[in-house]
Amino acid sequence: MSRSVLVTGGNRGIGLAIARAFADAGDKVAITYRSGEPPADLVALGVLAVRCDITDAEQVDQAYKEVEAAHGNVEVLVANAGITRDQLLMRMSEDDFTAVLDTNLTGTFRVVKRANRGMLRARKGRVVLISSVVGLLGQAGQANYAASKAGLVGFARSLARELGSRNITFNVVAPGFVDTDMTRALTDEQRADIMAQVPLARYAQPAEIAAAVRFLASDDAAYITGAVIPVDGGLGMGH
């Protein structure tokens, strides 16, 4: 079964691994990328790359038009794009807060709202939002990020109720610490502190997050909606 799959922020890190996993399984995959050039190996695999900043509703609409023209209605949406701007509250500017919310939460709203049009028409759809263990446990210095990631849970669960009867599922994957550019930016001390709290005593590989996402988009997960699936090496212990 070849479905039209869209992954935001699919040019690197977790999004890239998710795009590869769907493409390897034979789906028609599109990614959005904001900066630079899309990875050549992904393009060689036949993945469509469209430039899009999810803080701009016009760009989101344009990206969907390109994807729909090439692959038809988006049947599986993975809202993965996200940023951090870590700072203790005392030093956190309003811009640090709103920029993170505008990308991680409102940006997700923009892409989900646009996807909903086609999914409603088709009376089917799978939406997977990439949250974080930090949204559930909190993290000093990440109040903006944690608020945005916790917001995704309420957002997904509300939509699961609103659109379940239309055969559209909304689920959240909450990764722990994953080996990507985002965590490479942490100091050695922060990395050691985190590692000490992870029962599996290692970072996740991006492909391990992709596996959970693919499951939620598969037929085997047809009766799962409104769920938060932790992929965190035990860090959150189910929270």
CA distance linking residue 20 with residue 1, whole number of Å: 16
Neighbours of 37 (CB within 10 A): 10
- Give whichever of 189 and 220 is closer to ligand NAP, judged by the CB atom: 189
Name the catalytic one among 33, 145, 203, 223.
145
Q: How far is CA 31 from the centre of its chain?
A: 12
With CB under 6 A as the contact rule, the residue among 5, 7, 12, 109 that binds ligand NAP is 12
Residues numbered 127-186 forming contacts with ligand NAP, rule: CB under 6 A = 130, 132, 175, 177-178, 180-183
- Please report how many Cα atoms fall inside a 13 Å half-sphere around the Cα of residue 232, on the Cβ side: 24
Q: Residue 67: CB partners within 8 Å, gap ≥ 6?
A: 4, 6, 30, 48, 50, 74
Q: Is 14 in the site for ligand NAP (CB under 6 A)?
A: yes
Strand 228-231's sheet: what is its strand order? Answer: 48-51, 28-33, 4-7, 76-79, 125-130, 168-175, 228-231
Catalytic: 145? yes
Tokens of 29: 């995959």
- Give the interface segment with ligand NAP, choosing from 38-46, 75-83, 189-197, 218-226 (CB under 6 A): 75-83
- Give whichever of 13 and 151 is closer to ligand NAP, judged by the CB atom: 13
Q: Is 233 in the site for ligand NAP (CB under 6 A)?
A: no
Catalytic residues: 145
In the complex, the residues that contact ligand NAP under the rule CB under 6 A are 8-9, 11-15, 32-35, 52-55, 80-83, 103, 107, 130, 132, 175, 177-178, 180-183
